[in-house]
A and B are shown apart, each in its own frame.
Chain A
Amino acid sequence: MRVSKRASGALAVGAAFALVASGCSSGNNDGGDAGASKDGAIVIDGTQPENPLVPANTTETGGGAIIDWLWSGLVEYPNNGGAPQNLLAESIETSDSKVFKIKIKQNTKFHDGTTVKAESFVKAWNWAAYGPNGAQNASFFADIQGFDEVYTEDPDGPDGPQKAPEPKAKEMSGLKVVDDWNFEVTLTAPTAVFPTKLGYSAFVPLPDAFFSSTPADFGKKPIGNGPVSLVSWQDDVEIKLTRFDDYSLRDKMKVKDVTVKIYQDDTAAYNDLLAGNLDFQQQVPVSALAGDKWKTDLTDRAMASTTPSTGIIAFPIYDKRFQNPKLRKAISLSIDRQSITDKIFFGTRKPADSWANPLTPGAEPGNCTACKFDVAQAKQLLQEAGGFQGKLTLSYNADASHKEWMEAVAQQIKTNLNIDAVAVGVPTFAVFRANINAYKMTGAYRAGWQQDYPDVENWINPLYVTGGSSNDGKYSNPQVDALAKEATAAPSIEEAHKKFAEAVKLIDQDVPSMPIYFGGQQSGHSEKIKKLELTNVGELDITSVEL
């Protein structure tokens, strides 16, 4: 998932769910004026990318949005959140969900004029997976056969004296180039959702220029294959993009130039939006949400949408005190999610009632029975579990706006169950995350999840399967593991979804974490923009912009 690095923007207080699901559009239906759009330019808000723009090494929203615009992948996720569609791929064929034959569209171009070939994918993926390259998204390639030969783990962790051994191979054995337009991917185990994953930005192709340069140099002047190319990047000031005229896939740009203005303060950006100097702001500041000020300010240019993200409080199951599922369920049942979303988030985020975010294909609304508010049952379960001794801490990182809702949760647990619950702020996210990584949490803690790719698999395997990449609480249920494995290996997505639904039923009994709210987003645009759409994760779909 990507994380927002703008501290004040981290509280994405949702507004009314007037427009259901992301991918809502705004403006009049007949669209814009083609003449005005043709050579039009827009200015949108952004943050300084943390790292040079290399797709496999970008996990934050500032750089992530720009990478999504600069590159086009094999598949794309429709704005309405539906099933992925082929984009650069001509076809992705498999008979067993283990070997995938991928055929790409011929003669599409990178921004430097070179052709996108099968090799552009294979080399890019091998680079990202190769351990010593230290790519932040390396784990996305773990499905591919031969990943463990190129990615070796440090035996005693990054803090220990030993270093990771040199990988045996430089390339994954599961990747094979057939010819310029065809390649074959063999996975370690059948994975029905693999084609869906291919739309994530870690899987985009890289031009030869990347391999003859260093990632740092390439990332300052990235060459992609998407609808826009990068013109210039002035650190902390702006990133200029322009229409790539040789783009031959769906969704060509309607406007010509896009300037991403880098703000450090979202209120400054908002004031520029009001003054007409800025054409789009993805998330208006918290200060504008109180009393629905942003709706009064922006009138019909205010856009409320939902994002496929969930606010969660997780349990450290490696701690003896949290090993009884009855206790965990009791705590979860004692939280009145509705009143938290109403009072803390001004009725704008939605109370969570399912394990996967309902915007995700395969998710079943309402399948979290532990998310109900039932004090009587909670009390009874707590009694059966033998009560809870000592203090229950609920920690959160205090450098973003989590204090209010975490304190409200603590208060409810205290009132409803008579447990001595307190919300504890950890000064920075870096410290907070380091403690989670080291399995040093001594109480429940805030977590969050935003889908990387639209499938319920992304809400189960990383979070609730033994050894999952983000199973930070060390939750482990062999039955869940077995079902999830079956689901992952199912021959079709539909069957996979059915199996995952079974796994979720077990997870719902175990309550390894507590989903609290579903995320929302409040955006605004200028009068100049007549039509625009948001992507499935709430970013601006720049190809949809009409003036």
Chain B
Amino acid sequence: MGRYLLRRLLQLVPVFIGTTFLIYWLVWSVPGDPFAGKCGDRGCPPNYRAMMTEKYNLDESIWVQYASYMKNLLQGDFGITFGGREISDIIATSYPNTLKLAVVALAIEAVIGLGAGILTGLRRNGFLDNLVLVSTLFLIALPVFVIGFVLQWLLGVKWGIINPTVSNEMRFSELIVPGFVLGSASMAYIARVARTSIAENRRADYVRTAIAKGLPMRRVVGVHLLRNSLIPVVTLLGTDLGALMGGAIVTEGIFGINGIGRQVLRSIVTKESATVVGIVVVLVVVYLVMNLVVDLLYAALDPRIRYE
């Protein structure tokens, strides 16, 4: 187990270097002079462009730029934006907001999705099953921004139940609706995966044995059935945290949340490689760590899986 963990952690290093370089290179390849569009239709004075180009090393080759960026990064220096803000400050303020939103979304999709999945998996073809089937299809079919705008308008403007946008304090109660919007599609998938998995295992030999042994139903479902059926669901949920954080850009925009989405979008448009890479680096780490946690959870859920 310890060796497995170590090996997995070591694997993170090349993945980390590879992803950061790819992202740096991609943003660098976006055509255009980042300072040409700064002053509107008037155009910027040449001196301004010359000063900024030199200040941000943009006249160097991509290799030199990337190497100096990585050198600073390893010393904990994320660099500064073209507007002169510390990128580490941007990360420190925007990440917790996105993380909060993603965790709320994850909690909502886990509770509702799993609940619906278990209920329908145990009682297939009933009224509830069909209802969940139709409503999940509906959620999957609708793009996030449609759900977002409709809920914001109905609950926020028409009925006045919530504030249309989230305040700076990011209170939990304010995040329920944005979290639901963000997690809606995944919630539908989780409900469906859980339902299938439970329905399948319901007919498995070990479940029949457990019932035949005379175990109470609660124990059969709660311990034997659920534990085995959860493996695909855990995979989904684990990798979803990263996907939710990266995919929160639309939801953040609709509800005015100061998260990483707007920062990434802004810096891609303005060709600020350092900001994009800085934010994505942290996201990459989240993905990698979540994957590792999911793999370790398998062993806890399924005794047949052992890591050496």
Taking beta carbons and an 8 Å cutoff, which residues of A are in contact with B? 1-3, 7, 49-52, 59-60, 131-136, 138-139, 151-154, 157-158, 163-164, 216, 219, 234-238, 263-265, 267-269, 271-272, 274-275, 277, 399, 427-434, 436-437, 447-449, 462, 469-470, 472
Contact = CB atoms under 8 A, between A and B. Distances in A.
B33 to A, nearest CB: 4
A144 to B, nearest CB: 15
A86 B290 CA distance: 64
Candidate in B53, B54, B149, B269 with the most chain A CB atoms within 10 angstroms: B269
Contacts of A219: 84
Given A3-B41, A136-B45, A277-B164, A264 B53 contact: no
Contact of B256 (A216, A264, A428): A264
Nearest to A219: B84
B271 A430 contact: yes
B50 interface: yes
B137 interface: no
Given A132-B47, A135-B48, A434 B33 contact: yes
Interface string B261-283: 01100000111000000000000
B152 A1 contact: no
Contacts of A462: 42
Interface in B25-53: 30-34, 36-53
B254 interface: yes
B157 A138 contact: no
22 contacts: A134-B45, A134-B51, A135-B45, A136-B38, A164-B50, A216-B84, A236-B258, A236-B262, A264-B256, A268-B165, A268-B254, A268-B256, A271-B164, A271-B165, A272-B256, A428-B32, A428-B37, A430-B37, A431-B37, A434-B37, A448-B40, A462-B42
A351 to B, nearest CB: 20
Contacts of A136: 38-39, 44-45, 48
Contacts of B51: 132-134
The list of the 7 closest CB pairs from A to B, nearest first, reads A3-B40, A134-B51, A431-B32, A430-B32, A271-B164, A430-B37, A434-B36
A268 B40 contact: no
B38 A50 contact: yes
B291 interface: no
Contacts of A134: 45, 47-48, 50-52
Contact of A235 (B42, B82, B93, B156): B93
A437 B266 CA distance: 23
B33 A263 contact: no
Contact of A433 (B36, B46, B163): B36
Given A235-B90, A275-B156, A430-B270, A470 B42 contact: yes
Contacts of A2: 40
A432 B43 contact: no
B246 interface: no
A469 B39 CA distance: 12
A430 B37 CA distance: 4
A507 to B, nearest CB: 18
Interface of B: 30-34, 36-54, 82-85, 89-90, 93-94, 149, 152-153, 156-157, 160, 163-165, 168, 252-256, 258, 262-263, 269-271
Contacts of A51: 83-84
Given A52-B83, A437-B43, A432 B50 contact: no
Nearest to A235: B85
Contacts of A432: 32, 37
Given A132-B51, A134-B52, A430-B270, A470 B43 contact: yes
A237 B258 contact: yes
Contacts of B156: 271, 275
Contact of A1 (B40, B83, B165): B40
A433 B44 CA distance: 10
Given A134-B50, A158-B53, A235-B93, A437 B36 contact: yes
B46 A59 contact: no
Contacts of B83: 49-52
Contacts of A265: 253-254, 256
B209 to A, nearest CB: 56
A434 to B, nearest CB: 4
A274 B157 CA distance: 6
Contacts of B254: 265, 267-268
Contacts of B50: 134, 154, 158, 163-164
Contacts of A267: 149, 254
Nearest to A217: B84
Nearest to B50: A158
A136 B46 CA distance: 9
A131 B47 contact: yes
B38 A234 contact: no
Contacts of B168: 234, 237-238
B33 A430 contact: yes
A514 to B, nearest CB: 15
A147 B32 CA distance: 30
Nearest to A447: B41
Q: Give the residue among A3, A133, A158 with the most B Cβ atoms within 10 A.
A: A158
B171 to A, nearest CB: 15
B41 A275 contact: no
Given A60-B40, A430-B36, 7 more contacts: A50-B82, A135-B48, A136-B39, A236-B258, A267-B149, A429-B37, A430-B270
Contacts of A269: 256
A1 to B, nearest CB: 5
Contacts of A153: 46-47
Given A264-B256, A264-B262, A271 B157 contact: yes
Contacts of A157: 46
A234 B168 CA distance: 10
Interface centre among A163, A216, A271, A449 (most CB of B within 10 A): A271
User: In the complex, which of the residues A219, A269, A430 has the most CB atoms of chain B within 10 Å of its own CB atom?
Assistant: A430
Contacts of A50: 38, 82-83
